[in-house]
Amino acid sequence: MGKWVKVANTNDIPQGQGAAFDVEGQTVAVFNVNGSYYAIDDTCPHSGGPLSEGDVDENKNVTCPWHEAQFSLENGDVLCPPAFEGVSTYPVTVEGDEIKIEV
């Protein structure tokens, strides 16, 4: 079992957007989809695009801003090439207004 690390407050990540945070030496993207929060690796495995800057849709998917590979925020699976592998996901909890992920 990992440890829970505070990454942000809920007001730091507007609805339908993501933000990148340095967590234990790696960059993690945290997204807000209708008040639910999801955390995945920020780096697209295709060519290193910042997923935190990608477009998020109501189906809980993010599209890489560089080459439009698409990933599920729920499980990290790749949904659309040019990427052929998924990204890691992290459990998220919200305590009050603090967003924490397990690393």
pLDDT at site 78 = 98
In Å, how far are 14, 40, 44, 63, 81 from 66, measured between CA atoms? 22, 17, 9, 9, 12
**56 neighbors 66 (Cβ within 8 angstroms):** no
- Find the angle CA(77)-CA(93)-CA(61) to the nearest 5 degrees: 25
Domain layout of the chain by residue ranges: 4-102
pLDDT at site 41 = 98
pLDDT for 18-31, tens place per residue?
999 999 999 999 99
What's the predicted TM-score (pTM) here? Answer: 0.95
Give the gyration radius of the chain's Cα atoms: 13
Model confidence band, residue 42 (pLDDT cutoffs 50, 70, 90): very high
pLDDT at site 2 = 86
pLDDT for 45-73, tens place per residue?
999 999 999 999 999 999 999 999 999 99
Q: Which CATH fold topology does 4-102 show?
A: Rieske Iron-sulfur Protein (2.102.10)
Round to whole Å and give the CA distance between 45 and 24: 20
Rounded mean pLDDT, 86-91: 98
